[in-house]
Amino acid sequence: MSHSRRNFLKNSSVFALGANVLRPQSAFAESTEPLFPDGYPDRSEIIRAAIDSAITAGATYADARLSHQEVLAGVRVTNIVRKEHMAFGVRALYQGYWGFASSPVWSKDEAARLGLAAVAQAKANVLGRDRITELAPQSEMSSGHWEMPVRIDPFKIHPDEIADFWGGIMSYVQTLKFIANSSHTYSFWRTNKAFGSSLNQFTTQVLYRADGGIGFGLEDKSRQAKSGAGVEEISAAGQGFEYFRERPIREYIRKAHEEALHDLTLPVKPVDVGRFNLLINSAGVAGALHPSIGVATEVDRVFGFEANAGGTSYITEPETMLGSLKLGSSILNVTADRSAPGSIGRVKWDDEGIEPIKYDVVQDGILANLQTNIEGASWIKDHYQRTGQELRSFGCSYAPTALDVQMSHNADLSIKPANNSDNQDSLRVTLSDGLELRAPWVQLDFQQITGLMQGGVMYEIKQGKRVARFTNAGVLFRTPELWSNLTHLGGSESVRYYGLSSEKGQPSQSSTSGVFTPPALFKEMTIIDVKRKA
Amino acid sequence: MSNFSTGENESVRVFNEKEARRIAAEIASYMRPERSLYIMVSSWWGAGQRWARNRASLTSDQREISIIVGRGRAGRVERGRFYLNATTNQLDSVSLKGIAQHIELYAKRSDNKMPPDMIVDVPRSDVKGANVWSDETFNRSVVENATAVEELTRLSENDQLMSSGYLETTGSGSLEYIRDNWGRVESQWGLVTQAVCSATVRHPKGTASGWAGKTSFDMNRVDVSEVAKIAFEKCKKSLDPVRIEPGRYQVILEPQATAGLIDVLISGLARRIPEEMGRGAMFLGIDNAIRRFRTKLGLKIVDERISVFHDPADPIVGSHFAPLHGRRDFIKNGVLTGLFNDYQHNLNEISEGLPLYRSSSYTLNGGNTTFSDMISSTKRGLIVSRFTQIQVIDPDSVLSGGLTRDGLWLVENGAITKAVRNFRWTESPLFALNNVEQIGIEEQVFDPVSSRNPFANDSFALSLNNVVVPPLKINDFSFTSTIDAI
C-alpha cells in the first residue's frame, strides 16, 4: 500500500484518537441506528474491536462488516420458509496481501479472533515477492445510518397476511380462460448491515428486497395449442411488500394472459434461419445488457481476477479501450447507479463505505468506465490521470452477507431511452418483415463476447403484426455487433425495470442488480435453430 | 482433531457430535412431541487461497453454521431441501425456539392437507458408508497453502504467463435427525472434509488459456503443483488457436469433459418425471394394458461398455452419512437398471422397503485404452479439455448446448497438430454414449461443492459431488459454431 495517509493507522491508539476527532461520539448518540438484535452488543463496538485487533497485528488497512439477514419466502400458500442469518467478516491488508476471516458469532472475543485471523491469512503470503495494492482514496469519511425507504415492512406484518394476498392473486389466475397450470414464488429480505474501517468510517444501513414471480400456462384443447406467460412487471426490487400490494398485479396478469391468449391463435412454425430485423422486449434487452455490458465491465473480471471462476472480459486492454472501444451504435448510452429508488442494488454506502455515484458505462456507443471498487479503481489510475478524472471507486463493492468477502459486482444499469414516445407496440408497427422476441434467456461465453438468446417467445412479424410463433428459435450474437445493430429504442414511457442475478468468485457468491430499459429494435440479427445439430 | 470444542463467545471450526445432538434435542423440545420432524444441524469451516495475476489475491478463513428445521410431506423430497422449513445460523435459545415455533405455526395450518407420511427409513445397519474425513485436509495450514501458491505463481511469472486459481480445504460435521409420526427417531452424524484445487493459466494478451482441477476429500490426493503444471502446459499448447470449420468431429473427451457432458443425463435418472408426467429422456411410452407411463428400465440405452453406479462405501466417491443402501447400478452394460426414487412420488415403494436414493456422486466405469493410444489411433479429431455453460435444450432427448473451454486441439494422423478456437456445440449425451469408439482409464474429476451460501443451498454440508469417469473417444460430435472467447 502506497498511501502514506494511512500509515498512521498502524498504531491502534492513534486510531482510537482519530476516531474521536473525525467522527464525534455524538454522531452515534443521535443516529437512528436501531439496537439490533436484542441482546447483542453495540455493533460499532465490536466492529472497532475487530479493526483494532487487525491493526495491532500489523494490518495497514482493515475493514469489518456485520450482517443480519432475514428472509421470508413462500412457494405455495401453506409453505412458508423463514431464514435468519448473522455474520461477521473482517478483511485486512498486510504488505499488499488481503486476508479475510468470517463467522456467525457476534462478540468482542470473536472480533479479536477475526481481526487476528484476517491478518494471519494475509501474512502467510509474504514470501519474498511484493504485491502492490493501492486503494483509491475516499473523498470524505463516511458515517451514519440509512434505511431504504419502504412503505410496508414485510417483517412487521403477519406472514399469513402475505400468504393470503398471494392466495387471492393465484385464485384470480385460476379464473382466467384456458389456464392449465400456474406457479408463483415470493420472498422478502431485510438485511441490516454495518461497516467500519480503519479509516474511521462507520456506517449502518437497512436494506430491503422484494422478489417474486408469477407464471402460467394456457392450453386450448380444441385447437391443441399451448402458450405461456410470465408477469414481467415483477422481479427483484429494493422495496417492501408494497412492491406487490400497491401495484396493479391483477392488471399485469390480465395483460400477460391476453397476450398468451392471442398466442394461442397464432400458428406455430419451425424457425426460419437467417438474418432478420428483430424487436426485443424490455425483458430481453435487460437480459442481454446485464451480462454483455454489466458483467463485462466488472473491474476484477477485466483484470483477470475471475479467470478461474466466471471468466474474463472482452475488455482485454482497459487502458487503451476506455474511451475508445466501440461497443454499440451511437444511440446506446448506459449509466450505472446504485441510488435509483426501488432498484435492487440501491444502497447509501457500498460494502467498502463508499457512497456510490451515477456514472456512464457506455457513452454514445463508446466504453466510458468500468465498475469499480477501491482496489480496482487504482488499476486504471493512469486512465483517470490522462482524462483528468478524479481517482475514485464507483461504489460497486458488495457481498451477499458478511460471511463472504466483498467483491466488485454489477451496479444497477439504465439504458437511456429515446427522446420519443415509442413503445413495444409502436416499434412493432414499423417492422414490415421481421421478428419479435419476448423474454428470452440470454447466455454469454466466459469472455462475455459471443452469446445466444433462446427461450421466451419468438414471433414472426409481417406488416407490423404478429402472424406466427417460431419454435426452437435462437439469436446468435457477438456483443459489439449486437449493440452496433441497435437501431431504435423505446421512449421513456416504455422503460421497465428488471432485477437480474449473476454469480462470481470462489467460493461463489451471487448478486442481483437491476436494469432499466426500453424495448429495442436491432437490425440483421442472426437467427438459428437451437435444436439443429451440425 | 483440534478445535472441536465449543467456545462461549468464539466460533468453532466444526461442532462435535455431542454438541450437534444437544442442539437438535433442544429444538425438538420446543416442538409438539407427536408430530414428525426433520432437523439438520451442520457446521462448516473453509480455508480458501485465491490467486490471480501470479499473486495471492485473497486468503480466507470462514466458519458457518446452518440449523434447519422442517416438517411435512415435502420434508424429504430431497434431503435437506423442502418447502416448509426454517433456518438459522445462531445457537442461542431464542433463535432455536424461533425456528421451531415457525414450523409449529405453519405445520398446524397445513395438517389437513398433508398426509402423515414422514417415515423413518428401514433399518440399514448392514450398509457401510465411507470414511471421507482426512485430518491432513482439516489441519492443512494456511502457510502450506500460501507456499504452494507462491511456488506455482512464480513458475508462471517466470514464463510470462498469468496464473489464477483457487485452493480450498474444508471440513464439516452434520447431524440429521428425523422423527416420524409414530415417534420413531432416526439420526446420523457425519463428518467430511474436502480439498479442491483448480488453476487457469492464461497468456497476458489473452491468446491462450489452460485449466486443470482436482478434488478429493484427502489433501494428499490433491497435488497442487501437478494441477498448476497441467494448466500451465495446456496454456502453452493452446497459443494462438486457429479457426476451423464447425461440424461433426470425432472427439477425445478428457475426463473433465466427459463428466460435463453426461452430468445432465445422470441427474435426470429419476423415476418421477417419466412415471408421473410421461416426459423426460427415461420415458418410454404409455403401457395401455395397465394404463401407466413406462420408463426405459430394463432397456439398453447406451453402448454396452458403459456402466454407471454408485457405491457409498467406495473410499473415493463414498458418502459420509450412513447411506440408505449399498452399491446401486444405474446403467449396467448399457442397460438402464436403476432410477432414483423420489420420496414424494415413490412413497409406497419406499415404505415397503425399497430405498430412497439420491446421490450426485457416481462412477462411470473405465476401459483400458491409454490417452496417448486414443490420440495415436485418431485420423482426424479434436481433444476437448472441458465443457462449460452446459444447458439442456430438449429434456426429452437430453439434447444439450454448451461451449468448449481452456484447451481444444486438432488431432491429425495420430498427432496433435494445432490449437483450435473454441466451439459452441449441440449434442445429446445419449447420442454420444451410443457412439463411443474407445474408453480410457477412469479418474476422479474436479467437481467442487457448488455453493456454500446458506441462502442458496441449505444443505451445503451434504453437497458432495464426487465423480469418477474415464476419457472417451466419441464419433460424430456436433459443433455448431465458433465462439470468440479464449
CB contact under 8 A, B150 and A129: yes
Q: State which residue of chain A sits closest to B88, comparing Cα positions.
A: A84
Our CA-based measurement puts residue B5 at a distance from the nearest CA of chain A, in whole angstroms, of 15
Q: Give me the mean pLDDT over the B129-146 stretch.
A: 92
CB contact under 8 A, A85 and B87: yes
Residues of B in contact with A376 (CB under 8 A): none
pLDDT at A534 over 80: yes
A33 pLDDT tier (thresholds 50, 70, 90)? very low
pLDDT at B83 over 60: no
C-alpha torsion B279→B280→B281→B282, nearest 10: -70
pLDDT, residue B122, reads 45
How many Cβ atoms from other residues are within 10 Å of residue B133's Cβ?
20
Per residue, the 3-state secondary structure of A313-332, as one string, reads CCCCCHHHHCCCCECCCCCC
pLDDT, residue B125, reads 52
pLDDT, residue A431, reads 96
Residues of A in contact with B403 (CB under 8 A): 445-446
Q: Give me the mean pLDDT over the B72-90 stretch.
A: 55
Identify whether the C-beta of residue B56 lies closer than 8 Å to the C-beta of residue B49. yes
Q: What is the pLDDT of residues A124-159, one digit of tens each?
A: 999 989 999 999 987 556 788 999 999 999 988 888
Q: State which residue of chain B sits closest to A128, comparing Cα positions.
A: B150
Q: What is the pLDDT of residues A311-363, one digit of tens each?
A: 999 999 999 999 999 999 999 999 999 999 999 999 999 999 999 999 999 99
pLDDT at B353 over 60: no
Does B395 lie at the interface with A, CB-CB under 8 angstroms? Answer: no
**To probe the interface with B, which of A66, A71, A83 has the most B CB atoms within 10 Å?**
A83
Residues of B in contact with A510 (CB under 8 A): 451, 453, 456
B7 pLDDT tier (thresholds 50, 70, 90)? very low
A180 pLDDT tier (thresholds 50, 70, 90)? very high
Our CA-based measurement puts residue B326 at a distance from the nearest CA of chain A, in whole angstroms, of 32
Q: State which residue of chain B sits closest to A472, comparing Cα positions.
A: B393
Q: Give me the mean pLDDT over the A226-254 stretch.
A: 96
pLDDT at B119 over 60: no
Q: Which of residues 315-354 of B touch A (CB under 8 A)?
A: none
Q: Which of residues 229-258 of B touch A (CB under 8 A)?
A: 246-248
Which among B85, B479, B485 has CB closest to A445?
A: B485
pLDDT at A93 over 70: yes
Strands A97-103 and A236-237: unpaired
CB contact under 8 A, B200 and A107: no
Closest CA to A371 of A345, A344, A332: A345
Q: Give me the mean pLDDT over the B388-399 stretch.
A: 91
Q: Give me the mean pLDDT over the A31-42 stretch.
A: 47
Q: State which residue of chain B sits closest to A185, comparing Cα positions.
A: B83
Our CA-based measurement puts residue A514 at a distance from the nearest CA of chain B, in whole angstroms, of 19
pLDDT at A512 over 80: yes
pLDDT, residue B267, reads 79
Using alpha carbons only, give the angle B89, B94, B100 rounded to the nearest 5 degrees: 75
Cα distances from B154 to residues B148, B151, B164, in angstroms, run 10, 5, 12
Does B199 lie at the interface with A, CB-CB under 8 angstroms? Answer: yes
* Helix and strand numbers, DSSP H then E, in chain B: 10, 21
Q: Which of residues 277-306 of A touch B (CB under 8 A)?
A: 303-306
pLDDT at B259 over 50: yes
pLDDT at A20 over 50: no
Identify whether the C-beta of residue A216 lies closer than 8 Å to the C-beta of residue A183. yes
Task: Find residue A520's DSSP bridge partners.
Answer: A280, A489
CB contact under 8 A, B63 and A314: no
Which among B9, B113, B393 has CB closest to A530?
A: B393
Does A101 lie at the interface with B, CB-CB under 8 angstroms? Answer: yes
Q: Which of residues 48-87 of A touch B (CB under 8 A)?
A: 69, 71, 75-76, 78-87
| Mean of the per-residue pLDDT values of chain A | 89
Our CA-based measurement puts residue B126 at a distance from the nearest CA of chain A, in whole angstroms, of 36
- Could you tell me which residues come within 8 angstroms of residue A75 by beta carbon, excluding any fewer than 6 positions away? A81, A185, B83
- Letter for the amino acid at A395? G
Residue B350 φ then ψ, to 5°: -65, -45
pLDDT, residue A51, reads 97
In whole angstroms, give the CA distance from residue B237 to residue B272: 46
Does B56 lie at the interface with A, CB-CB under 8 angstroms? Answer: yes
Which among B52, B60, B154 has CB closest to A307?
A: B52
pLDDT, residue A13, reads 30
CB contact under 8 A, B206 and A403: no
CB contact under 8 A, B164 and A69: no
**To probe the interface with B, which of A36, A79, A82 has the most B CB atoms within 10 Å?**
A82
pLDDT, residue B463, reads 47
pLDDT at B32 over 60: yes
**Which of the residue ranges A7-16, B94-103, B407-416 would you say has the lowest mean pLDDT?**
A7-16
Q: State which residue of chain A sits closest to B50, comparing Cα positions.
A: A506
Identify whether the C-beta of residue A281 lies closer than 8 Å to the C-beta of residue A438. yes
In whole angstroms, give the CA distance from residue A157 to residue A159: 6
pLDDT at B52 over 50: yes
Identify whether the C-beta of residue A411 lies closer than 8 Å to the C-beta of residue A394. yes
Which among A76, A401, A447 has CB closest to B486?
A: A447
pLDDT, residue B344, reads 55
Does B10 lie at the interface with A, CB-CB under 8 angstroms? Answer: yes
- Could you tell me which residues come within 8 angstroms of residue A172 by beta carbon, excluding any fewer than 6 positions away? A250, A253
Q: Which H or E element spans position B409?
A: strand B399-412
pLDDT, residue B120, reads 52
Q: Give the rounded percent of residues in chain A with a pLDDT score beyond 90.
A: 81
- Could you tell me which residues come within 8 angstroms of residue B302 by beta carbon, excluding any fewer than 6 positions away? B331, B334, B430, B433, B434, B436
Q: What is the pLDDT of residues A273-324, one digit of tens each?
A: 999 999 999 999 999 999 999 999 999 999 999 999 989 999 999 999 999 9
CB contact under 8 A, A81 and B83: yes
Q: What is the pLDDT of residues A37-65, one digit of tens each?
A: 444 568 899 999 999 999 999 999 999 99
Give the range with max mean pLDDT: A139-153, A244-258, B261-275: A244-258
Preceding omega of A41 cis (within 30 degrees of 0):
no
- How many CA atoms lie less than 13 Å away from A157 in the CB half-sphere? 15
In whole angstroms, give the CA distance from residue B78 to residue A299: 39
pLDDT, residue A31, reads 32
Tracing cell 410470465 back to the chain, one arrives at A230
Q: Which three cell numbers stand for residue B71?
A: 416438517
Strands A79-94 and B85-88: parallel
CB contact under 8 A, B206 and A316: yes
Rg (CA), chain A: 25
Q: Give me the mean pLDDT over the A436-458 stretch.
A: 95
ipTM: 0.91
B5 pLDDT tier (thresholds 50, 70, 90)? very low
pLDDT, residue B127, reads 64
Which among A75, A97, A450 has CB closest to B485?
A: A450
Q: How many residues in total does chain B contain?
A: 486
B8 pLDDT tier (thresholds 50, 70, 90)? low
pLDDT, residue B101, reads 85
CB contact under 8 A, B48 and A97: no
Q: State which residue of chain A sits closest to B198, comparing Cα positions.
A: A308
pLDDT, residue B462, reads 41
Q: Which of residues 365-404 of A touch B (CB under 8 A)?
A: 400-401, 403-404
Read off the pTM: 0.91
Q: What is the pLDDT of residues B288-340, one digit of tens each?
A: 888 889 999 999 999 999 999 988 788 887 776 656 567 888 899 999 998 87
